[in-house]
Amino acid sequence: MKVETKYSIGDTVWYEEYDNDSDTFIPEELKIKYIQVVNWKENSFDITYFGKDMYGFREEILFATKNECKESCGEKNKMGKR
């Protein structure tokens, strides 16, 4: 069985971080230090990426570029300003 991840160790990716001071979501950088792959069922994997901290991020919520993440943050921030 071969497992392919979207990102690799050493890659820089982005995630949405909630900033209490501005009450908005902002792009936050994560440099991948290690990857955890868990096989839940046959051909069903949970892939989590970790940086220097102990917090892990699932592949589905990471962005390849800051601009992609910034756009997503902007959409979330618009929804919160109703």
Pick from 46, 2, 53: nearest CA to 29? 53
Pick from 49, 61, 51: nearest CA to 18? 61
Read off the pLDDT of residues 38-67 as tens digits, 9 standing for 90 and up: 988 777 889 999 998 878 999 999 999 999
For the entire predicted model, the pTM comes to: 0.85
Pick from 40, 38, 19: nearest CA to 28? 19
